[in-house]
Structure 1
Amino acid sequence: MVITGIICGVLLGFVMQRGRFCLTGGFRDMFIAKDNRMFYALLIAIAVHGVGIYILIDAGLVQFSAGEFSWLGVIIGSFIFGIGIILAGGCATGTWYRAGEGLIGSWIALATYMLMAAVMRTGPLAPLNGSVQEYALPNNSMAESTGLSVWVFVVILLAVVTWVLVREFRKPKVAIPSLKPKRTGLAHLLFEKRWHPFFTAVLIGVIAVAAWPLSQATGRMFGLGITAPSANILQYIVTSDTGFINWGVFLVLGIFLGSFIAAKGSREFRFRMPDVKTGLNSASGGLLMGFGASLAGGCSIGNGLVMTAMMTWQGWIGLSFMILGTWTASYFVFIRPMKKRTTTAAPPQAA
């Protein structure tokens, strides 16, 4: 039943909001602050997802075909998407859950993201999208391309994640001052206590695994996905064609609802209006997100979490160029202006 899409989305939106699982900030912090924690959390989510999904595949409960590797679209689209999420202040999923917090800038980014994704899929830019997708290699599966078992790649990923966990938890603990809890019991754990990003990542990985059989039960042969369902919402509004409504649409609407519930429960929901510059950045970032994700065949969730866990070239190469795009945009949006301000503020040298 498609109602399971809402349930899955509510859980995902709730977990991501409470865990502040923001890949945009994580990729940016890797470059600016040299903080890799959110990237490590993503690797954990991918590992949990990969193990779970291939257990289901081996058991015959889930079907998956990697298909072709549209290398040109993945490279160009992922890089553009990475630039877009910096301008928009959040990736595709992050934009949905931050909109649930009342952030108007995310509403703006979400609107332009949905618009451009629809234009790329069935609108005037569909021929361009299709022509770029034609530049493809016949095999997208890393296992089939190398002749190795997919479990070899899963085990390598698990080894990396284990190293990350050992490395991170051996670091000296930094005391974080905390206020006296205002709530007790389950309410404190759900809405007040800080969620560790690694714990959040495990939950996201489990939800990603569950999404596959739930989605395939309705005839949609995929797991978590954001771009196509987002475009489908706008296409349905314009055409009233119920063919656009599927499990994925209920998923993204559930993300919004789950984030809203989490934000209200933690008293973090409030409407926040951006200034003009931020609003323009959100709009342009949303356009770039929709354009790039359509070319790449996935966003930070579709490629960065799902297709990586499926051990495809599309996923891992897409994730790499996505990160490269965020670093490029971070330099021009954050670092370069900061250097200019520092240079301007510096006192003139004495003669």
Structure 2
Amino acid sequence: MEEIQQAGIMVLISGLVVGMLFGFVLQRGRYCMNSAFRDMIFINDYTLLRSYLLALLIAIIGANLLEDMGFMGDSGLRRQSFNIIANIIGGYIFGLGIVVAGGCGSGIIYRIGEGYTSAFVATLGFASSLVATIHGPLKPIMQYLKSFKISIGNGDDAIINPALWDLVGGHRMKWVVIAIIAAIIIPIVLKGKPFAKGPKKGYSWSLTGVFLGLVLILALWASNYWGGQTRGLSAAGPTAEAYLALIFGNSMSKFDPMFDFWGLFKGTWSALYIFGIPLGAYLSARGLGEFKLQAPPASEIMRVFGGSLIMGFGAAVAGGCTVGHALTGVSSLALSSIVATIFMILGNWTMVYFMFIKPMKD
């Protein structure tokens, strides 16, 4: 039987505030990782990629400092076990799906706050597919793919949730590896002229990257302090938990502490910030005069819904989405997240080729 704690007001407020900050930054920066990866090969534009790399650099340094200083508790940054087959297959399928759906997990959720009907439909499909894979009829497939695990070392010293530095000498090499990554990222970021004047409306790519990195660091600390377990940002598991809490009144999480919100519903801290994302995006969109209810053609609705179903299955199998793996997971330098992110990008590029580049050539 799951243990459920009575929620305090700060559990509710902190979850919603983190989500609202995240949604506000995403909308002001017009940020979506689907676009960041897609634009690299479709229009040869690296602007959003540089924003991602800047956010990632800040997150890597900040997250690992918090961990080393003891602010992440006994669980640390909770690096995922290295389920290599699931990371590869799930990541690739998720990458395919985000192109069809027109946005990554966080991208479709924040666009609800801009008034896009298609984003609401995509989020519904994403959540339904996640639940069907994590708790429903597709669960055996997910479990089978996740049964293939890789650890580093042997016996009692085996590391089942390895980080990148475990390949090159262990924890003593941690900050050496981080310094090398910083040396690679910084020239790429600087090439994009991060200190140049930004757009008249919204945030520049560099300001968006800074704020995304800082919001992630805040989320890591807040999820541990108020949520009872370090989790950071993700749009996969928490979306399923938010959906279940909204429909059934219970997030049904087996891994994170569950809270009773005054008899209204039982859920995780992470489910709360999912509700906060479209609220923050709405406030940003209203402030910029960009909120507008929009209903696309039925054909687009069906395409987006189909893509979101693919996304949900891929994210559940991979153990996370682009935010959960490519930002939160990679900030901890978990091998599982690095591999999943690589195949998300490859899946994205594959679908971009068949949906956009190949038709232009034909």
Shift of 1:84: 0.7
8 Å Cα contact 1:104-1:273 kept in structure 2: yes
Q: Does 1:253 align with 2:278?
A: no
The CA distance in 1 between the partners of 2:224 and 2:283, in whole Å, is 27
1:182-238 superposed Cα distances (whole Å, 9 cap, x missing partner): xxxxxxxxxx53411111111110110111121112213311121111111222244
The count of residues paired between Structure 1 and Structure 2 equals: 324
Q: Does 1:93 align with 2:101?
A: no
Q: Does 1:284 align with 2:306?
A: yes
Q: Percent identity?
A: 31
Task: Give the letter aligned to residue 156 of structure 1.
Answer: I
Corresponding residue to 1:20 among 20, 23, 30:
30
Per the normalisation by structure 2, the TM-score is 0.85
Per the normalisation by structure 1, the TM-score is 0.88
Corresponding residue to 1:161 among 168, 180, 185:
185
Partner of 1:196: 204
Gaps of 5+ in 2: 1-9, 152-159, 252-257, 259-265
Partner of 2:222: 214
Shift of 1:67: 4.5
Pairing of 1:1-351 with structure 2 (within 5 A) = 1-2=10-11, 3-62=13-72, 63-138=76-151, 139=160, 140-148=162-170, 149-169=173-193, 193-217=201-225, 218-241=227-250, 243=258, 245-340=267-362
Gaps of 5+ in 1: 179-191, 341-351
Task: Give the letter aligned to residue 51 of structure 2.
Answer: A
Partner of 1:186: none
The CA distance in 2 between the partners of 1:239 and 1:199, in whole Å, is 39
Higher Cα Rg, which structure: 1
The CA distance in 1 between the partners of 2:194 and 2:82, in whole Å, is 39
8 Å Cα contact 2:242-2:274 kept in structure 1: no
Q: Secondary structure at the match of 2:67?
A: helix
Q: Secondary structure at the match of 1:77?
A: helix
Runs (4 or more) in structure 1 with deviation over 6 Å come to none
The CA distance in 2 between the partners of 1:39 and 1:153, in whole Å, is 21
State which drifts further: 199-208 or 331-340: 331-340
1:158-192 superposed Cα distances (whole Å, 9 cap, x missing partner): 11222113322299x8x99x8xxxxxxxxxxxxx5
8 Å Cα contact 2:78-2:230 kept in structure 1: no
8 Å Cα contact 1:67-1:141 kept in structure 2: no
8 Å Cα contact 1:17-1:97 kept in structure 2: yes
C-alpha change, 1:19 and 1:237, in structure 2 (3 Å) is closer
Task: Give the letter aligned to residue 68 of structure 2.
Answer: D
Task: Give the letter aligned to residue 17 of structure 1.
Answer: Q
The CA distance in 2 between the partners of 1:34 and 1:303, in whole Å, is 24
The CA distance in 2 between the partners of 1:86 and 1:67, in whole Å, is 25
Q: Secondary structure at the match of 1:301?
A: helix
The CA distance in 2 between the partners of 1:47 and 1:168, in whole Å, is 15
Shift of 1:330: 0.7
C-alpha change, 1:170 and 1:252, in structure 2 (3 Å) is closer
The CA distance in 1 between the partners of 2:299 and 2:80, in whole Å, is 41
8 Å Cα contact 1:69-1:314 kept in structure 2: yes
Q: Secondary structure at the match of 1:241?
A: coil
Between Structure 1 and Structure 2, the one with more helix by share is 1
C-alpha change, 1:7 and 1:237, in structure 2 (3 Å) is closer
Partner of 1:345: none
Shift of 1:337: 2.1
